[in-house]
């Protein structure tokens, strides 16, 4: 089971790394555009273009902070801890789907098994946290039984 957890965590880390690379490229492109805006002609058009780039840089900065939070969350996962209650880093098998409690990345596939990587603060994550095997949760009008936790 440790190998499965490692593989799921690695896929989550790749997701974060990919988002980080895209944001770094965007930041680089904005910096380049700001430099070229500085060199272009003055006037209202120049000021508008510069203001738009500054707004884009702020937005990208906020997205970068979000990615850093995701990275921090992944760093908190201790793969060696197991227990009977669902917590950060748990693999959860239910009557409906399989979950990896980490960050929200969507559907992950490892060894022909599919898992939804979800954050603990998502609606279903909040319902699952602290539960144990044979507990039931109710989500979207459906009763879901927890069949296994690793």
In this structure, is residue 109 part of a structural domain?
A: yes
Q: Does 95 share its domain with 143?
A: yes
Q: Does 115 share its domain with 56?
A: no
In this structure, is residue 84 part of a structural domain?
A: no
In this structure, is residue 83 part of a structural domain?
A: no
Give the mean model confidence (pLDDT) for residues 124-136: 97
Look up the domain containing 46 and give its range: 2-76
DSSP state letters, 61-100: HHHHHHHHHHHHHHHH--TT---SB--TT-EEEESS-EEE
Q: Which of 10, 122, 136, 131 is nearest to 74 (CA)?
A: 10
Number of H helices, E strands in the chain: 3, 6
Task: Give the pLDDT confidence score for residue 53 in this predicted structure.
Answer: 87
Q: Does 62 share its domain with 105?
A: no
Token output for 20: 């980080």
Q: Does 27 share its domain with 62?
A: yes
User: Which of 3-7, 11-15, 28-32, 70-74 is predicted with the least confidence, judged by mean pLDDT?
Assistant: 28-32
Q: Does 28 share its domain with 54?
A: yes
In this structure, is residue 85 part of a structural domain?
A: no
In this structure, is residue 43 part of a structural domain?
A: yes
Give residue-wise pLDDT tens across range 10-56. 999 999 999 999 999 999 999 888 887 665 555 566 678 888 888 99
Confidence tier at 133 by pLDDT (50, 70, 90): very high
In this structure, is residue 86 part of a structural domain?
A: no
Q: Does 56 share its domain with 7?
A: yes
Q: Does 99 share its domain with 64?
A: no
Confidence tier at 82 by pLDDT (50, 70, 90): confident
The residue count of the chain comes to: 150
Q: Does 58 share its domain with 95?
A: no
Please report, rounded to a whole number, the percentage of residues in the chain having pLDDT higher than 90: 78
Q: How many domains does the chain have?
A: 2
* HEC per residue, 101-133: ECCCCEEEEECCEEEEEECCCCHHHHHHCCCEC
Q: Does 100 share its domain with 139?
A: yes
In this structure, is residue 138 part of a structural domain?
A: yes
């Amino acid at each position: 089971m440790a190998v499965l957890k490692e593989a799921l965590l690695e896929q989550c880390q790749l997701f974060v790394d990919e988002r980080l690379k895209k944001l770094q490229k965007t930041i680089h492109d904005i910096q380049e555009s700001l430099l070229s805006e500085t060199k272009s002609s003055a006037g209202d058009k120049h000021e508008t273009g510069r203001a738009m780039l500054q707004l884009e840089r702020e937005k990208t900065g906020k997205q970068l902070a979000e990615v850093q939070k995701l990275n921090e969350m992944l760093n908190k996962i201790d793969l060696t801890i197991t227990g009977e209650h669902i917590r950060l880093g748990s693999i959860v098998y239910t009557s409906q789907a399989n979950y990896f409690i980490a960050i929200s990345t969507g559907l992950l596939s490892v060894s022909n098994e599919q898992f939804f990587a979800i954050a603990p603060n998502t609606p279903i994550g909040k319902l699952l946290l602290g539960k144990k095997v044979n507990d039931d949760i109710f989500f979207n009008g459906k009763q879901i039984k927890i069949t296994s936790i690793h």
